[in-house]
Structure 1
Amino acid sequence: MAAHPARSIRCPHCHAHPGQPCTTRTGRRLPAVHPARLSAHAQATACCPACQVEPGTPCHDHGRARPTVHARRYQEAEDAARLKAQEDTR
């Protein structure tokens, strides 16, 4: 199984370096990435269909900052990663 595309950025929760898996406080490697890393990846790579912000800009609700991205932005990031992976295999 390929590594999740969110591993391409540093994890804001456990501070795992790009390309490395997320870890617990005791250093145990996790099979999945932390939700904060998923959110950071979506923010860095995808436009948000809900609040219309560009990659790199945090999501908001009527001008109020959100702690995470909108659910639709996660989907945009996953779709973009899937398309890039398909193009890379061609």
Structure 2
Amino acid sequence: MNRPPAAPMPDSIRHILRAKKDPARAVDCPHCGALPHRPCTTPSKRRILTDPHPQRRSNWAQTVACCPQCQVEPTTPCHEEGRARHTVHDRRYQEAEATAA
């Protein structure tokens, strides 16, 4: 049985499907207010973003992984010489991605 080729997927749907695969969507976004498992949006809420905001990725990594660099447990913010960081260390991102895989 021969089927005609499928129609191309619209970009509006492609963004949503691609965003669903990102594990950082498991936490809410402090930047745009997106709820868990919902995509990040622009400030006007008119456009869905393909990638989560950096602060959302940082919060997700902080929630699920220990930091090999500063030796803190999940949910504890990373620090540098006793001062809290606004984002997590790069190695903590790697650790979080390894646990998600």
TM-score (norm 1): 0.88
One of 42, 49, 53 as aligned partner of 1:24: 42
- Paired residue for 2:75? 56
1:13 aligns with 2:31: yes
1:77 aligns with 2:96: yes
Give matches, 1:40-55, under 5 Å.
40-55=59-74
Deviations, residues 1-28 of structure 1 (Å, cap 9, x unaligned): 5520010110011110001000001211
1:41 is displaced (CA, Å) by: 0.2
The CA distance in 2 between the partners of 1:13 and 1:3, in whole Å, is 20
Taking only the aligned residue pairs, the percentage that are identical comes to 60
The amino acid of 2:86's aligned partner reads P
The CA distance in 2 between the partners of 1:26 and 1:61, in whole Å, is 35
The amino acid of 2:30's aligned partner reads P
**Aligned CA-pair RMSD:** 0.9
Residue segments in structure 1 that go unaligned for 5+ positions in a row: 83-90
The CA distance in 1 between the partners of 2:49 and 2:78, in whole Å, is 27
The amino acid of 1:47's aligned partner reads C
